[in-house]
Amino acid sequence: MARRGALQPPAEIRRMFDRIARRYDLMNRLMSLGRDVVWRRVAAQAALEHAPAVVLDIATGTGDLAFELVAQGARRVLALDFSRAMLRIASRKRAALRAWNVAFLCGDAMRLPFRDASVDACTIGFGLRNLPDYEAAIREFARVLRPGGRLVILETTPFTGPLAPFFRLYFDRLVPWIGGLVSGDRQAYSYLPRSTAAFPSAAELAALLRSAGFADVRYRTMMGGTVALHVAVRGAHLPDAVTAAASVPASRERRQLGPGAPQRA
Ligand SMILES: C[S@@+](CC[C@H](N)C(=O)[O-])C[C@H]1O[C@@H](n2cnc3c(N)ncnc32)[C@H](O)[C@@H]1O
């Protein structure tokens, strides 16, 4: 039975990403044999199909999905993460790429600092698995998306199929070893296979999306079934449970930012 949320509490997750930030991009390229670049390209394409004006990239990390969105023509990207070390790298990359239409914000994916129905598309790449409550997170994404807006989730998915034993060996043994050598943090890279195995299957995640009020839920798997891309459209009406969870106290509403908010990180 899949878990309902991350294996570790948010504070530990944040510390882990703060620790590995410097080597995060390099490890992604090594672990995926460079394929992570292609997966983000496909995710960005899916998010931009209807030319959204404002895209929110949740758990943006070092910003690779946000930059890919811009490379594919996104006009304005808001990119949020709670690890300052990851965001520092993202900001440096933004300067090198001169991608000034990406605004980085430090914040919590479970309490997005945006008004209801204020963004046109949301993306999250390899972030959902790290959030403490998947259902609550998806409800929060639905809250900030406008009706008809797209949610695109790119995530590792529990391995099934004939190549599963090979992938398990690779991710359980080799990835922590390489991660230890490259980032000096073997523990962070043993968390990756453990958290992937405990994550809902692609079909279960699709069911979670439907129950949160998303329509046209589609998914495909890539890299021999190790990565899944879900695309869903925020329905016109959200289930009562979603709107109740989304009602924001007045004090919090004052702190919320519109899509034109200034850069914070
Ligand atoms: C595996 S990285 C993914 C980064 C990036 N999206 C990519 O495609 O490479 C996961 C990111 O989620 C962030 N994260 C985890 N929990 C979060 C939360 N509750 N709020 C905001 N960011 C969070 C971490 O700081 C980390 O940068």
The pLDDT tens digits of the residues spanning 97-148 come to: 999 999 999 999 999 999 999 999 999 999 999 999 999 999 999 999 999 9
Between the CA of 82 and the centroid of ligand 1 the distance, in Å, is 7
* pLDDT value of position 260: 37
115 is in which domain, residue-wise? 10-244
Pocket lining: 196 vs ligand 1, CB cutoff 6 Å = no
Q: Give the CATH number for residue 202.
A: 3.40.50.150
pLDDT above 80 for 238: no
Has residue 5 been placed in a domain? no
| Mean pLDDT calculated for residue range 171-199 | 91
User: Residue 181 in contact with residue 256, Cβ under 8 Å?
Assistant: no
Has residue 2 been placed in a domain? no
Predicted confidence band at 254 (pLDDT cuts at 50, 70, 90)? very low
Kindly compute the dihedral angle of the four CA atoms of residues 194, 211, 69, 120, in this order, to the nearest 10 degrees: -150
Pocket lining: 61 vs ligand 1, CB cutoff 6 Å = yes
Between the CA of 69 and the centroid of ligand 1 the distance, in Å, is 17
Has residue 249 been placed in a domain? no
Pocket lining: 242 vs ligand 1, CB cutoff 6 Å = no
pLDDT above 60 for 255: no
pLDDT above 50 for 26: yes
pLDDT above 60 for 164: yes
Pocket test for ligand 1, best of 8, 12, 14 (most atoms within 8 A of CB): 14
Between the CA of 111 and the centroid of ligand 1 the distance, in Å, is 14
Q: What is the pLDDT of residues 2-15, one digit of tens each?
A: 779 999 999 999 99
Question: Between residues 178 and 264, which one has the greater pLDDT?
Answer: 178
Pocket test for ligand 1, best of 77, 81, 106 (most atoms within 8 A of CB): 81
Which residues are within 8 A (CB) of 174 and not within 5 positions of it... i.e. 6 or more apart? none
Predicted structure pTM score? 0.91
Has residue 263 been placed in a domain? no
pLDDT above 90 for 246: no
Which residues are within 8 A (CB) of 162 and not within 5 positions of it... i.e. 6 or more apart? none
Ligand 1 atom with the smallest distance to the CA of 110 is 19
Between the CA of 173 and the centroid of ligand 1 the distance, in Å, is 23
Has residue 37 been placed in a domain? yes
Between the CA of 109 and the centroid of ligand 1 the distance, in Å, is 9
Has residue 76 been placed in a domain? yes
Question: Between residues 81 and 248, which one has the greater pLDDT?
Answer: 81
Pocket lining: 39 vs ligand 1, CB cutoff 6 Å = no
* Beta-ladder partners of 103: 78
**Number of domains observed in the structure of the chain:** 1
Nearest-5° angle of CA 257, CA 258, CA 262?
70
Euclidean distance between CA atoms 137 and 128, whole angstroms = 8
Question: Between residues 48 and 235, which one has the greater pLDDT?
Answer: 48
* Beta-ladder partners of 151: 122, 232
pLDDT above 80 for 261: no
Between the CA of 129 and the centroid of ligand 1 the distance, in Å, is 9
* pLDDT value of position 229: 98
Pocket lining: 99 vs ligand 1, CB cutoff 6 Å = no
Pairing of strands 54-58, 119-125: parallel
Euclidean distance between CA atoms 242 and 224, whole angstroms = 34
Query: Which long-range contacts does 12-17 make (Cβ < 8 Å, 24+ apart)?
Result: 13/130, 14/82, 14/83, 16/185, 16/187, 16/188, 16/191, 17/61, 17/81, 17/83, 17/85, 17/86
Pocket lining: 5 vs ligand 1, CB cutoff 6 Å = no
Has residue 95 been placed in a domain? yes
**Region of residue 164 (phi > 0: left; psi between -120 and 50: alpha; otherwise: beta):** alpha
* pLDDT value of position 241: 59
Has residue 174 been placed in a domain? yes
pLDDT above 90 for 64: yes
